[in-house]
Amino acid sequence: MSADKISGAGRCSKPDAGFSPDANLSPDTRSNACPDARSNACPDANVRRFDPENPRKYDFSDFLDIIAALRAPDGCPWDIKQTHESLKECLVEESGEVIAAIDNRDDANLCEELGDLLLQVVMHAQIAAERGSFTMDDVIQGVSEKMIRRHPHVFGDVKVTSQEESLALWKQIKEKEKERAGK
């Protein structure tokens, strides 16, 4: 896709929305990222441009849009073909590179490798969203609830006085969650 084409579109909060860019849209036109976008009924369907010649400060929402554009019908053939299974080796490799950067105390490399690891997480969430299984928002919601639930000494009334007590509390809560889930 050339830099003068639309190469990213806003995500839509509508549950059945998929990303399907339209090269004929102008940058100030709403994309068809959701079923109501052409009628402007979907406020989340803003068009975004990603121009490699004119980089700007990107945020997490931009990154989600970039990954969606890579997997769109006119996106990158390699990215489009990826599945959870085909990306397992990449996930392991990127995790190892994060560990190596930590071991080497190389903050610049760690920053880069964390980005590559984040790419893996977002790619898996995008694949799941395309199947209607879950979204990146679901991932964030789930892990946020878990962090709050497993830290009652921070977000509740429980008191702990040491790292060991907080770890024991974490393990106790995790075990109760597994019991409730029947695992």
Per residue in 94-152, pLDDT tens? Answer: 999 999 999 999 999 999 999 999 999 999 999 999 999 999 999 999 999 999 999 99
Mean pLDDT of the chain: 80
Calculate the alpha carbon distances from 12 to 4, 62, 98 in Å.
Answer: 23, 13, 32
What is the mean predicted confidence (pLDDT) over 85-96?
A: 98
Question: Residue 55's pLDDT is what?
Answer: 84
24 pLDDT band, cuts 50/70/90, is very low
Question: Residue 53's pLDDT is what?
Answer: 85
Q: Coil, helix or strand for 84?
A: coil
Question: Residue 52's pLDDT is what?
Answer: 84
Where does CATH 1.10.287.1080 sit in the chain? 82-149
Homologous superfamily of the 82-149 domain (CATH):
MazG-like (1.10.287.1080)
Question: Residue 48's pLDDT is what?
Answer: 52
Query: What residue spans of the chain are helical by DSSP H?
Result: 60-71, 77-81, 88-103, 107-131, 136-149, 152-155, 163-181
Distance CA 134, CA 99 (A): 28
Per this entry, what is the length of the chain?
Answer: 183
pLDDT, greater one: 36 or 60 = 60
User: From the CB of residue 76, how many other CB atoms can be counted at a distance below 10 Å?
Assistant: 13
- The answer, as to whether pTM is greater than 0.85, is no
Tokens matching residue 175: 């075990």
Q: What is the pLDDT of residues 47-70, one digit of tens each?
A: 457 888 888 899 999 999 999 999
